[in-house]
Structure formats: structure tokens, C-alpha cells
Amino acid sequence: MERFAICIENKDFPASLERWKIYPVVNSAEEEGYIRIIDESGEDYLYPRECFSFIKLPRAVEVKLKKEYHSITL
């Protein structure tokens, strides 16, 4: 599983998700049609899969983002 996803749609979740922002994907609890990400609250929640596109980041960018989200297991 990719470790990061970019939000491509937030119309149902404008307070929780920023469109075009990269979010870390939590490796656990993926359910059919949903992914678990760390949202704007700093907590992990399930969101519809169609709100995101998984992305592959350059290693250097991934390392920096992991440091930003150091308290979670990606």
C-alpha cells in the first residue's frame, strides 16, 4: 500500500480535508471503499477512497513527511 494520498475531493468534508493536500495513510483498518488517513484534526479517520488518489513520492520527500508525522506508524 502507498503511504501517502492526495485529497482530490472534499465537498462532503470541508472542515476535515484540504483539497490537493498530501495526507499520510495509516496502514491499518482499510475497509472496502474507505481508507484511513490522518486528517486536519491530527487523528486518523476513515474517508471514502474516491476522495483521494494514492501517490508515490520521491524518497527525500517521504522522509521529510514522515518526520512531520513522527508520532504515527505509516
Contacts 24+ apart (CB under 8 A), 65-70: 65/4, 65/22, 65/24, 66/24, 69/24, 69/38
Domains and CATH numbers, the chain: 4-68 (2.30.30)
Q: What pLDDT, in 10s, does the model give residues 39-64?
A: 888 888 999 999 999 999 898 988 88
Is a pLDDT exceeding 90 seen at residue 11?
yes
pLDDT band at 26 (very low <50, low <70, confident <90, very high): confident
What is the per-residue burial (b if ≥16 Cβ within 10 Å, else e) of 30-60? eeeeebbbbbeeeebbebeeebbeeeeeeee
